Structures are given as C-alpha cells and as structure tokens.
Amino acid sequence: MTQEVDSSSESLRERIPSRPLIEARQLSVVFQQNEVLKDVNVSIRRGQTIAVIGESGCGKTVFMKSLVGLVKPTSGEVRFDGRSLEEIQFQELTETRRRFGFVFQNAALFDSMSVFDNVAFPLVQQAIASKDEIADRVMCHLAEVGLPKEVARRQPAQLSGGMRKRVGLARALILRPEVVVYDEPTTGLDPIMSDVINELMLDIRRRYPVTSIIVTHDMRTARKVADRVLMFYPRHRLEPDDPQVIYDGPPSELEHAEDRRVRQFVHGEAGERMNEMLQAMA
C-alpha cells in the first residue's frame, strides 16, 4: 500500500510543471528618453503571493503591465507559462490575458451598470455561461467578498469605497483566473477596511490555487498577505550598473534588510531623499 501511495505522489509531482509561471528576463522599458525599467530579472512560481513595493515612479506599475503584455519591453522578454509573450499572436495573447484577474486601484466599475452587471460583465462579454450560471456565479462571488444580496441591485455611486473595492475583487474572480493582479488594493481606505481587504486576499489564496501579484505602498498589506516582497528603486537614482530590484525576500526580513534604502522605505523615513531635495533646491 505504501509503495502505491509513493508512486502516485511521484506521478503527481511529475505532472506539475516545475518551471516558473511568470518570468521577466533582462526586462527593460524606455519611454522616449525615460528609462523606467532596466535589466529586471524576476521569476514567480505558481501559488506565490508577491508584493511589489517601492516609492512612486520606481516602475512598479510598468512592471505589472509588462507581465500581462500591456506594455511591450524595449528589450528583454516576459515569459508566461514557459512561452515568451513576444511570440504569442494577438488573438492568443487575448486568450492568455483571460488567465489573469485584475483588481484596479479605484475599482474601475462601470457607473452606468448595476453591481450585478459589473461583476457579470466578463462572463457576458465572453459568452461562456448561461444566464442562470452567470447569476449563480455573480451572487456566489459577491458573498465571498462579504457583500449582501441586495448590493447586487445598487449602482456603484451608492457604494462606499470599501464596497467598491470588494465588487472589483468579485469581478476579478468571476473568470476563475490563475493569476490575480492587485493595483494598490487598500489605497484610500481606513485601517479597518484595509485589513478587511487584506483578509479577503488571504481567503482567496486559501480558496483558489491562484498566484497573486500585489502592487502596494501599504506595508501592513505587504507583511500580512505576501510570502515574498520585491522592492524596486527609481532607475534615475541608480548608477548605470546598479540592480533595480533592491530587495527580494520574505516580508519578515524587511526590517533587517542590509540595504538602508529598504529600511528607510519600510519605516517611512525621508532619510537621504530629504538631503537630495535640499541639494536640488540650493
């Protein structure tokens, strides 16, 4: 009996791809003369929850958009599930993006639609489910993010900021994505509602086999939700050969990172930035 179990487990491991789900290889992005990303190398395994942190203008959002093919690299490449996005034709790239769910910073709800129609929109657009199935899935996902049934009939303008965020989260999950990308999920929320969103992100990870990428300034979110943190640094403030990712490790080690720039960011200390600003004003 033991031999059969061991053999089955070994077979299962062989069927699970060992390669990273997402890879950035020597990724560089330049807009006109503005070098936003340079030679970024990052591999993300299936099931990881990554927090991408760093000050404004450091390239976090451009990095996120590059991973899903919304920004084309100036050089280098992004690979998803073993394939370069550059090699994928437009129609297939559209199909690939359906494997991603997006939670936008301001929820990005359609103001002219009800909450129900906002959440149902991806399913309706893809025409991949019956009306009854759509209704069941919409109500199921609204319940998962802690919203009562009557919210489905409301318009986005009738919702609080936290409720809008949760509707956006429900919509991101409706296509059952492999990767969920969160853009500043707690921005503009009070501390209690921010923690509600954090708990929901943890719950989603428990419920679904998703890989999560969270772009955030919220250190509480990074510490509580992520199992790995990447910190980017603005390219224009680095020497030509300096790496742009100045921290890549567990959130528990952020406080004691060797790089003082990481410690200053984590503690919210102006540090050298204040000196730089004063010198620029002199």
95-104 confidence digits (pLDDT tens): 888 889 999 8
- pLDDT of the residue at 279: 65
pLDDT in tens, 135-148: 999 999 999 999 99
Which of 27-31, 159-163, 232-236, 272-276 is predicted least confidently?
A: 272-276
- pLDDT of the residue at 13: 42
- pLDDT of the residue at 96: 84
Pairing of strands 211-215, 179-183: parallel
Percent of the chain, pLDDT > 90?
66
State the average pLDDT over residues 30-40.
Answer: 93
CA nearest 103: which of 174, 46, 156, 36?
174
Which is more confidently placed, 162 or 277?
A: 162
Percent of the chain, pLDDT > 70?
89
CA 133, 136, 142, 143: dihedral to nearest 10 degrees? -150
- pLDDT of the residue at 2: 39
* Prediction pTM value: 0.86
Phi/psi of residue 238, nearest 5 degrees: -110, 155
To which residue do tokens 């994928």 refer? 88
Q: How far apart are CA 182 and CA 203, in angstroms?
A: 15
Enumerate the domain spans of the chain: 31-99+178-184+216-282
pLDDT grade, residue 282 (50/70/90)? low
Residues 6+ apart with CB under 8 A from 247: 229, 230, 231, 254, 257, 259, 262
Residue pair 84/163 in contact (Cβ under 8 Å)? The answer is no
pLDDT grade, residue 9 (50/70/90)? very low
- pLDDT of the residue at 12: 39
Specify the CATH number of the domain 31-99+178-184+216-282. Answer: 3.40.50.300
State the average pLDDT over residues 118-124.
Answer: 92
pLDDT grade, residue 121 (50/70/90)? very high
Phi/psi of residue 155, nearest 5 degrees: -95, 155
Residue 137 amino acid letter: R
Reply yes or no on whether the pLDDT at 176 is more than 50.
yes
Q: How far apart are CA 174 and CA 8, in angstroms?
A: 33
Q: Cα 178 to chain center, whole Å?
A: 12
- pLDDT of the residue at 276: 66
pLDDT in tens, 47-93: 999 999 999 889 999 999 999 888 999 999 999 998 898 888 777 87
State the average pLDDT over residues 217-224.
Answer: 94
- pLDDT of the residue at 11: 45
Retrieve residue 18's tokens.
């060992």
Give 228's strand partners: 50
- Alpha helices, H only, the chain: 2-15, 60-67, 90-97, 115-126, 131-144, 161-173, 191-207, 219-225, 260-267, 272-281
> Residue 78 gets which letter from DSSP?
E
Pairing of strands 228-232, 179-183: unpaired
